[in-house]
Structure 1
Amino acid sequence: MRIAILTAGVLGLAVSACAPTPAMDTPEGQARQCIFASQIHSFSSQGRESIIVHAGRAAYELTTVGYCADVDWAQQVGVDTLGGSSLCVGDQADLIVRSLGGRPDRCRVRVSRALTEAEIEAL
């Protein structure tokens, strides 16, 4: 029963994590690249240190801060924004990772960058 509730919670976090938000100005005058955590609909692992999350037609790279067990074998992921609904490039969040048959594990990630359209198509 606990696993079913946790799985639903992890999926809820994952689904709720990404979509472009209205542009916010940075000190340099450039628009910040942000997504809503609630709109993340899928992910793809990029090795042991990063993961790509997809929200609509946008995709963002999340890079681990330190060690993150099983990020390259994750079957499910969730994103905890640490107090807010959006994630912007440079922000940190908790990634909830669950591998096949394993228990969920949390690790810290940083939103590294938004992928370009060409990079998204190449995935």
Structure 2
Amino acid sequence: MITISQIAEALSIYEEARTRRRLGARSAPAAPVYVQGWPAGVLARYRTVGEAYADITYEHHLGLGTRCTACPWTGRGFPDPEVTFYDSPEEAASKIVRSLPQARDAVQEHAEHCRAVPLPEAGDR
């Protein structure tokens, strides 16, 4: 289960990286990540039947969403967490956690049925 502290930490990292990029800091990562090795904005990942991932994502300008890494399935329209720029990372995380159950149900259901196989990595071809 995703905790408020995990999301708060992720949002802090994300905002710090955005600020550093905006200010032109050389040490800012090209794309902030919430969990090392996961794409930016991914809060949770579910392995699909086809060995791809069904992700729960959060981006401030798009809100809470879902997507599959192997097929065109996506989802939006989950309860809007109503996160504002004035919220602390902890406040924002708390709002996001309250909106997660519907997204989690959608992602889990997709992961249980999606048989699409992800594209091979460049070195695997």
What TM-score comes out, normalization by structure 2 length?
Answer: 0.28
What TM-score comes out, normalization by structure 1 length?
Answer: 0.28
Q: Which has the higher strand share?
A: 1
Higher Cα radius of gyration? 2
Quick one: higher RCO (CA 8 Å, sep 6+), 1 or 2? 2
